[in-house]
Amino acid sequence: MTRSRLPILFAMGLLSACVTPPNEREAPLDIRTVIARAKDRVYPCLVYVKPIREEYSSGEKLKQEVAGSGVVIDPSGLVVTNDHVVEKATRIECVLFNERQVSARIRGEDPETDLALLQLELPDDLKATPLPAAAWGDSTRMREGDFVMALGSPFGFTRSISLGILSNTRRYIGFQTRYKYSLWFQTDAAINPGNSGGPLVNTDGEIIGINTLGTFLAEGIGFAIPADTAREITERLRRDGRVLRAWTGIELQPLADFEHNTFFEAETGVKVAGVETDSPAQAAGLQSGDLLLAVGETPVHGRYVEDLPAIRRLLAALPPDRPASLRVRRGDPPQEFNLTVTPRLKGKLEGEDFDCARWDMTVKEISKFGNPYIAFYRPQGVFVQGVKYDGNAFESGLMPFDILLRIDGRPIETLADVKTVYRELLTNARREKKALVEILRKGYRQFVVLDYTRDRKKEREE
Amino acid sequence: MTHSPTGGAWRRPTRRPRWPLALALAAALPTPLSGGEADNGAPQRQPAARAMKTAEEAPSGRAGAEALDDAAFNARIRAVARDAFVTVHVTFRKDPAELQPPAPYHARYEDQGPEDLAREIAHRFVDDCRTLDLPGLWIDAAGTVLVTDLGFPTKLIDRIEVRTGDGKTIAAEPHAVLRDAPGWRLAARATGPCPAPAFADPGPVTPDMELTASWIEEIDGVWSISFGPLGGATLPLSGAPHPAWFRLGGGGGAPLPPPGPWGEVGNATGLTDRPLHLLFDHNAVPVGVALHERLPLAPEAPATWRGPAVQHGPAVTFEALRTLERKVIEAADRQVAEVKLTFRMTAPEDDADYRPRGSAPYLRDPFASPEEGRERTVYGLAVAPRRLLVPLGLNESLAARIERIDVALPGRESFVPGRFLGAFKAFAGFLVETDQDLAEPPPDLFAIEILPRVRPIATLRVVHKYGRRTSVFGYARILERQRGYRNRLADLPEPPLAPGTLLFDLDGRPAGFVATLRRDDEKVRALRDPDRGAYTAPWESGLHAEDNRLFRFRDIRDALEHPETAFDPDIRVKTKFEERRLVWLGIEYCLLNRELTRHLGIENPTKSGQIGVMIVDVYDGSPASRLGLRDGDILLAVREAGGQEPVELRFHEGDHAGFGMRYVGSAPPPESEEELWLAEPPWHSQRTPLNLLLTSIGKGKPVILTCLVGGKVIEKELVLEEGPPDYESTDRKKHEPTGLTVRGLTYEVRKALKLPPEAPGVVVSKVEEGSPAAVAKIHPYDVIQRVQGTAVDSPAGLVAAFESACAAGINTVKVQTLRLDRTRFVDLRFDMEVPAERIGKPGSEN
């Protein structure tokens, strides 16, 4: 797991349950029969996903093998899994029910909901017969207490099943994580690392969730993405390869904010806690303290924090090419504001990485959404992600989270700038192997002379 | 400590040329001086000196004296010397009040003075069962022995034995202190007449005078007589009859045994330079003694050397000294009051992150550790019924923190309040004033005109030791003078005296005091060279003894009568916030290093990165912006206008807390971005070494900045001004019911948080655990912008908003907070239980 922002939650996978044919639902069920039938429907669709990913946080590019799970949702070989399983993967191998290992490629990713769609690259002999695919269930009909099963590969133990119930069907975990666009299922079916991306299945053998997170030091607290969310996102990924969301810059706060023990006097609507600087909302004239009543024709109800994802989705769906009307109460009577989302759609959640191997450091593009603290100082640019602790960058005095402003006098605005300078400096054999780097460290400028005279990797190999 | 065991008061090195010819030892004398003359034929006298004396050239004063040949001369001298010299063996005992010498680190808590050295040394002798052995001289037949002034308090002496040349051992007691020579008379219980030399009057001193000195020294356990001519006379150039000074270089003095405790005794008390010589004229007639390595022979010279004068001259008995001690201490009980200073301590949260860890004196906080204590007790002499003079140093940062002063006389139960009047510019001392008549000043404070040379001066130190007032009496002599600061002659007392010592004449009249001299440029000196900043270490008396001076009260009469002109305007009591206000230039900077300066091609002006800082940001409206300084300009040095040497900006990473610089011993880098933000405040402390340096120089002072701009070294003039309040010095308020402590949004905070000058808000500096603010998840460094929809502009405004809500019966207020770029609303409730002792103080200042 690379999400350092999730101290307690981590991704897992769950096994999913079995299916009962309709005419037998009313009869008292033998739990073993139920499990067996559900399992039979989904078990063949289970995939063990093994990506090789590149990891940049330690100051050098390292390859890591990650294990997760997925489920086939289309006979052509589309597999749903979690984004955190396959992000930054350079190669993905999947093990199918018939013990065949095939490669896969990413068809689309959505980090905001932690979903990814893979396309299995089936060899010819497997293309002939359609793959068994699991069916989506209706997650809105699930209730707390319903039996569910989690399928997946916890700790690499492939094709495992665990059984539990739904502990909660409307869980908001946006405080501890960045998942602010959806609610989650909470279950006590065992979810462990390796379960990530696997299906959570009801007694009918339908996918009603995608197992994603566990809770550190807790037992029986795991989270899955509800099927309706997963289905919708998967469709968009299949169609567009990504999910575009509009960014308005509105910070929402529920009317009854138990997290902060803060409550607002209003029956409907949602509180605008703040408006980000230089955002479409600011340009439209919204202010913190406003009560947002409707987006377009749709009234908004944000009483509890669990209501916020739906509102956010509403705002995220605003079209980029025409203004939308927001009805707001700021005093009486309510006012209308026109908000235009162009041209900024919400960009990448995480910037791209680059390994400056000779300098023994890795850099990353600043992403406003992925690196809010760094982006505060410089919304666009490149920062030092990791520094090897006996490397050239470290010895020269560079530290993680330093923002690069200039290297060798050349301004650094994008990752491409870094790559260009890096290659030019390294290929110029005549110049001395030192470069002046101007950085922003916690908002204050400093200068460092990066000395890369030593080729430490070579030294280690010799 | 005035002395350290290994160092010592400054002494001019004594030249002791060793005569290659073996002048020592015509007669080898087994311990002690016993008979037997083995004349090994070595010439005893420099032929050249003798050769001068022909009958025609015989000095006029001694016309007709017989001319002696060398052998007879030597024999006569030896004979007299052998009888006259004795060896004196002092056995010490421990001061029952001080069984253990204090460990060095205790010195910070209790006053140390020179007498403690004596005690320490005594321990070495007592613990090692050793005696102090030195030469003595019979000076009369009744058994009076002359020795050099030992300088020890007699209570440390257990017994004294005198051993004669013919093998007798006689007990002796200290009898008197010579008034006009640095010596003691011992009274030996001799049973028969003692072979004192028959001194003759040497007549007037002329440049042609020839004297031979003899002495005894212990070599390999054997005391032997040596003699040799005195070194050449030094006369002023005018040629008129003037005091003639002889150095005892010729004979080599009477060196004391080499190092070990003995050597330290010698170094510390000056005994090394205090030989005991018996002087003979050219006819081998004893004429005088020498008790000091430099011998002024003229009639009006301060130190007695002529034999008859030594024999019969005035002396002060130890008994009389004890009487004087009682008299002086009694008077001091009426005239010297206890002054208890209570200092303001800073709260740990204010300083922990921001105290720079440098060695430069303006960075040093003498009360850095809580062990130092908030209170110091010192003693002041009444110079007027309501004014006390305390001859101890208080530097700016200490004086600024005086919270209260309480004064009491011994025997009185209660203290009366006092106030700090000011500290003097010329010396390290300050005046305290009370509202009621407290003590009687000595009636004849300004009577004494001179501090006499050689003559004993009584000294009194009133100190606070082991929790109570202790008066330490002693005496010292001014034997030498030396040129010091501004070429002025300074008296060098022996033993060296600690600041705070009061001086009296032998009748008990006040004469003066000892204080550390202050120099005009001491602040800048200290800034430039930390080791020489004597004044910046106020409680370390005599750190550099050469800066301790003897002052007569007459010297400071004007200063006492018109203190306002004599006071240093920079040393005064300040409020907590005044104290923290900084002089500023208005820049953010980064340090240079060798690589960087090489890369930028600025090695030369920055001395390879050792000096200079590079500007990386300039605050609007600041002195730097008005001077036209910009990013990339480099500041090299600063000096006060008026031509002194500049202070180079020589800063170290370690002095910059919170700059996020990597230096040895620093914490590992943060793991996550959030940690990056939360670990330290997002802004730099303005208590940078640069700002502290400028503050040390002082606001209002014109200075000249040496800068490197566009590759050229230029100078810019400006008058230092006090900056606007910064995070540490701005007002703050704590609101107990909510548990919030907030401070105003100062310029550097606004800049770091990208808040325009007009943006409202206060920044949270502390949140009490478990308080309503903590429950609402407000964190330090959040900004509170509005309360109940109304903008908040200042800490007082925040508290007022809370209070008015409370008064209106609202027990929950809505507060708008800002963190990074994120705004949030938060309910703060007042109705949570507040501990009883905090009720009634809702908006207390911290």
Q: Could you tell me if A381 and A288 lie in one domain?
A: no
Question: Residue B824 forms beta bridges with which residues?
Answer: B817
From residue B593, give the alpha-carbon distance in Å to each of A382, A410, B188. Answer: 25, 21, 72
Q: What is the DSSP letter of B453?
A: B
CB of B673 less than 8 A from some CB of A:
yes
B818 has a chain A CB within 8 A of its CB: yes
Which of B595, B596, B754, B831 is the best substitution to test chain A (most A C-beta atoms within 10 A)?
B595
Spatial CB neighbours of B842, under 8 Å, sequence gap ≥ 6: B735, B736, B737, B799, B802, B803
Q: Which residues of B touch A277 (CB under 8 A)?
A: 821
* CA nearest neighbour of B208 among B16, B61, B44: B61
Chain A residue numbers touching B754 (CB-CB < 8 A):
376
Tell me the shortest Cα–Cα distance from B338 to chain A, in angstroms: 51
Answer yes or no: do B142 and B64 share one domain.
no
Q: Is B822 on the interface with A (CB under 8 A)?
A: yes
Q: What is the structure's pLDDT at B383? A: 92
Q: How many residues are present in chain A?
A: 462
Q: What string of pLDDT tens digits covers the 462 residues of chain A?
A: 334 333 345 444 322 233 434 444 556 668 888 888 888 999 999 999 999 998 888 888 889 899 999 999 999 999 999 999 998 899 999 999 989 999 999 999 999 999 999 999 999 988 888 899 999 999 999 999 999 999 999 998 988 999 999 999 999 988 767 888 999 999 999 999 999 999 999 999 999 999 999 888 888 999 999 999 999 999 999 999 989 888 898 999 999 999 888 899 898 999 999 998 888 899 899 998 899 999 989 999 999 999 999 999 999 998 887 888 999 998 777 778 877 775 456 666 778 899 999 999 999 999 888 888 888 889 899 999 999 988 999 999 899 999 999 999 999 999 999 999 999 999 998 889 999 999 998 888 999 999 999 998 888 887
Is there a single domain that holds both residue B752 and residue B706?
Answer: no
Q: Which residue has the tokens 């301004």?
A: A411
Alpha-carbon distances of B38 from B26, B70, B251, rounded to whole Å:
6, 16, 20
Is A196 catalytic? The answer is yes
The number of folded domains in chain B is 5
In a domain, A454, yes or no: yes
Residues in CB range of B604: below 8 A, 6 or more apart? none
Q: Determine the residue of chain A that is closest to B592 in CA distance.
A: A447
- Cα–Cα distances in angstroms (integers) from residue A235 to residues A201, A228, A232, in the given order: 19, 11, 5
Whether B426 is in a domain gets the answer yes
Query: What one-character-per-residue DSSP string does B691-725 give?
Result: HHHHHHH-TT-EEEEEEEETTEEEEEEEE-EEPPP
Same domain, B709 and B602: yes
Write out the E strands in A172-215: 184-187, 199-201, 207-215
* B 274-303 near A (Cβ less than 8 A): none
Name the DSSP letter for residue A98.
T
Same-domain check for residues B254 and B152 = no
| B796 and B816, same domain (yes or no) | yes
Domain's final residue, options A127, A147, A179: A127
Residue B25's pLDDT is 33
pLDDT of residue A361: 94
A134 occurs within a structural domain: no
Assess if residue B253 is contained within a domain: yes
Based on the fold, state whether residues B372 and B435 are members of the same structural domain.
yes
Are A295 and A279 in the same domain? yes
The single-letter code of the amino acid at A379 is P
Q: Does residue A254 share a domain with residue A340?
A: yes
CB-based contact A368:A379 (threshold 8 Å): yes
Q: Which structural domain, as residue segments, surrounds residue B635?
A: 581-722
Q: What are phi and psi of B505, to 5 degrees?
A: -85, -175
Residues A362, A410, single domain; the answer is yes
CATH for A58: 2.40.10.10
**pLDDT < 50 positions in chain B:** 1-65, 105-112, 235-239, 242, 250-270, 348-372, 530-544, 658-667, 838, 840-846
Cα distances (angstroms) measured from residue B123 to each of B96, B100, B260, B472: 11, 8, 13, 19
Which residues on chain A are in Cβ contact (under 8 Å) with B684?
444
Longest dimension (CA), chain B: 118
Contact: B616, A444; criterion CB under 8 Å: yes
Q: C-alpha A204: how far from its chain's center? A: 29
Write the CATH number for A280. Answer: 2.30.42.10
User: A20 in a domain, yes or no?
Assistant: no
From the centroid of its chain, how far is CA B239?
A: 41
CB-count burial class (<10 Å; 0-12, 13-18, 19+) for B345? middle
Contact state of A264 with B614 under an 8 Å Cβ cutoff: no
Chosen domain end from B658, B689, B722: B722
The CATH number of whichever domain residue B643 belongs to comes to: 2.30.42.10
Same domain, B40 and B121: no
Do A408 and A428 lie in a common domain?
yes
The whole model's pTM is what? Answer: 0.72
B823 touches A: beta carbon within 8 Å = yes
Question: Which one is catalytic: A84, A204, A279, A290?
Answer: A84
Question: Domain of B388: which CATH number?
Answer: 2.40.10.10
Last residue of a domain, one of A106, A127, A148: A127
The region, left, alpha or beta by phi > 0 then psi within -120 to 50, assigned to residue B514 is beta
Instruction: Tell me whether residues A273 and B824 touch, CB distance under 8 A.
Output: yes
CA distances from A85 to A11, A201, A356, B623 (A): 9, 20, 25, 56
Burial class (CB within 10 angstroms; exposed 0-12, middle 13-18, buried 19+) of B384: middle
The B residues from 570 to 589 touching A (CB cutoff 8 Å) are 588
B778 lies in a domain? yes
Residue A84 designated active-site: yes
String of DSSP letters for B186-229 = EEE--SS-----------S--TT---EEEEEEEETTEEEEEEEE
| Residue that is last in its domain, among B700, B722, B744 | B722
Last residue of one domain, picked from the residues B161, B186, B211: B186
A177: contact with B, CB 8 A cutoff: no
Residue in A272, A387, A442 to test binding to B, most B beta-carbons within 10 Å: A442
Task: Domain count for chain A, please give it.
Answer: 4
Each residue's pLDDT tens digit, B195-248: 999 999 887 776 667 788 888 887 787 888 888 877 555 544 444 554 555 555
Q: Residue B299 has what pLDDT?
A: 54
- Rounded to 5 degrees, what angle do the CA atoms B86, B88, B90 make? 175
Shared domain check, A360 and A311: no
- Same domain for A263 and A355, yes or no, is no
**Residues B607 and B716 placed together within one structural domain of the fold:** yes
Q: How many CB pairs under 8 A join A and B?
A: 112
Of A251, A260, A399, nearest to B823 by CB-CB distance is A251
> Token match 């903008």: residue?
B791
B345 and B204, same structural domain?
no
In the block, which residue shows the tokens 């600011």?
A282
Q: Is the peptide bond before B32 cis (omega within 30 degrees of 0)?
A: yes
Per the domain annotation, does B501 fall within a domain?
Answer: no
Domain end marker among A205, A230, A255: A230
8 Å CB contact of B588 and A444:
yes
What is the full DSSP assignment across A3-31?
-TT-SSEEE-BEEE-----GGGSSSPPPH
3-state secondary structure at position B114: helix
Q: What's the maximum distance between 2 C-alpha atoms anywhere in chain A?
A: 84
Q: Which of B662, B823, B828 to mutate to test the interface with A (most CBs of A within 10 A)?
A: B823
Q: Of A276, A289, A451, which has the smallest distance from its Cβ to B595's Cβ?
A: A451
On whether both B96 and B232 belong to a single domain, the answer is no
**Interface residue A41 vs chain B (CB under 8 A):** no
Do B70 and B94 belong together in one domain? no
- The reply to whether B98 falls in a domain is yes
B671 shares a domain with B765: no
B-proximal residues of A, 133-152, CB under 8 Å: none
Residue A71 belongs to some domain of the structure: yes
* Domain around A122: 40-127
- Residue B343 falls within a domain, yes or no? yes
B824 to chain A: closest CA residue: A273
The answer to the question of residue B535 being in a domain is no
Decide if A401 and B684 are in contact by the 8 Å CB cutoff. no
A221 shares its domain with A264: no
In-domain check, residue B569: no
